[in-house]
């Protein structure tokens, strides 16, 4: 049988309209003991995905645990991207066991969820496995999540993958939302976020534009 290729994207790719983003427990107390990723990189990647989601108008849930009594405020890199948005504070370590969060998941109505947060082995594994069991499709941004050790983070990621979750990275999230440089309405936004928060790739974009006036897709 001959297979015919067509210029269409895989259904498994994310787009601005086919998922909700859930950011979990990016808080001071949780970050203090996070050792699997440098705190500066963690904050940068949290800002990268938050700005990407806000700019592409992805429905996003922000949730904290024991914000006032123990864990402290959510990273400003996240809340600044969503000014005025309510943070859903919980007592449960597993976000999926919080009724207010589930009400918001149901209100948004997306069966594909992209999640990230601290710690991977507790605050991310819990909702990931719970959502998967209930029939949701789950993606985890692994370099915007962290844990108390490399071992804890890697075993958590493996456990979620074995259960059916799909791993991705922060820059991948931004670029997959854009996906085509011919989409002129978001081109400047995407390259702007990349220049500010995209690390070496962002430096490359800045260099090419400054030195040669170059751009992806000929824009």
CATH number of 20-175: 3.40.50.850
Please give the pLDDT value at position 177.
98
Which entry of 20, 48, 123, 193 is annotated as an active-site residue?
123
DSSP assigned state of 18: S
Beta-carbon neighbour count of residue 21 at 10 Å?
25
138: enclosing H helix or E strand: strand 137-141
Q: Which tokens hold the place of 63?
A: 């949730």
Is there a catalytic annotation at residue 217? no
Please give the pLDDT value at position 215.
67
Q: For the segment 89-139, what is each residue's pLDDT rounded down to a tens digit?
A: 999 999 999 999 999 999 999 999 999 999 999 999 999 999 999 999 999
Cβ(43)–Cβ(74) below 8 Å: no
Q: Which regions in the chain score pLDDT beneath 70?
A: 214-219
Domain boundaries, the chain: 20-175, 181-218
């Amino acid at each position: 049988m001959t297979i015919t290729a067509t210029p269409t994207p895989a259904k498994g790719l994310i787009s601005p309209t086919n998922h909700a983003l859930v950011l979990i427990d990016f808080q001071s107390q949780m970050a203090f003991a996070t050792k699997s990723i440098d705190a500066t990189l963690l904050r940068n990647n949290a800002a990268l995905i938050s700005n990407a989601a806000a700019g592409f108008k992805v429905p996003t849930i922000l949730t904290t645990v024991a914000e006032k009594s123990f864990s402290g405020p959510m990273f400003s890199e996240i809340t600044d991207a969503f000014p005025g948005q309510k943070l859903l504070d919980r007592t449960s370590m597993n976000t999926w066991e919080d009724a207010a969060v589930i009400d918001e998941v149901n209100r948004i109505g997306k069966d594909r969820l992209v999640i990230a947060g601290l710690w991977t082995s507790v605050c991310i594994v819990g909702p990931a496995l719970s959502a998967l069991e209930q029939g949701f499709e789950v993606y985890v941004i692994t370099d915007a999540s962290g844990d108390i050790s490399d071992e804890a983070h890697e075993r958590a990621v493996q456990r979620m993958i074995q259960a059916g979750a799909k791993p991705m990275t922060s820059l991948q999230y931004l670029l997959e939302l854009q996906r085509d440089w011919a989409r002129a309405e978001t081109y400047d936004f995407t390259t702007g976020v990349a220049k500010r928060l995209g690390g070496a790739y962002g430096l490359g974009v800045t260099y090419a534009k400054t030195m040669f006036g170059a751009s992806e897709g000929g824009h």
